[in-house]
Amino acid sequence: MSAPGNERFMTAADGTVAAALVLLTVASFWWAGAMAEGGTDVVAEVEGAVVWKGALDTPASAALPVRLGTVTVEIRDGRVAVTESDCPNHVCVRTGWRSRAGDVIVCVPNRTVVRIARGRSKEPEGVTG
């Protein structure tokens, strides 16, 4: 089994394996990012209760009945925004379009929170590895 030329630290084939694994690792960062964005839920809460749910990858809109009238939530192109609101200063509307997990749109006068939660509702929840 003794191979005299086997003293070299890395052969060409070793280098190929290493390069392939580096590529795979780089690709996994992209994959993780893509999965995290495609699998995010939009949750709208009014006065502390969840009143509406959506997903960033499914265009939708909803007019939520709130204290001062209605708040309109819209999901389009993988982003979510409050497009209309019956409130004095429209901070929520001016927050604009959001798309990252953890982002929050708040309308204080109407006690309304729209947030982007991690995970997708189709998958089982509460499992730790």
Partner 1 sequence: MVRGLSTPRGVATLGLLSAVGLALFVLESLVPMPLPFLKVGLANVATLLALYLFGPAEAVIVALVRVVAGSLLTGTLFSPGFLLSLAGGTCAALVMAGARRLAGAALGPVGLSLLGSATHVAVQFLVVRFLLAGAASVASLAPILLLTALAGGFAVGAVAWRVLRALRRILPETGA
Query: What residues make contact with partner 1 under the rule CB under 8 A?
Result: 1-3, 5-18, 21-22, 24-25, 28-29, 31-32, 34-36, 39, 119-120, 122-124, 127, 129
> Minimum CB separation from partner 1 for residue 66, in Å?
31
Nearest to partner 1 of 48, 123 (CB atom): 123
Cβ-Cβ contacts under 8 Å for 60 (sequence gap 6 or more): 54, 74, 75
Nearest to partner 1 of 28, 70 (CB atom): 28
Q: How far is CA 72 from CA 75, 91, 114, in A?
A: 10, 13, 11
> Minimum CB separation from partner 1 for residue 106, in Å?
26
One-character DSSP codes across 79-113: EEEEEEE-SSS-HHHHH--B-STT-EEEETTTTEE
Nearest to partner 1 of 23, 104 (CB atom): 23
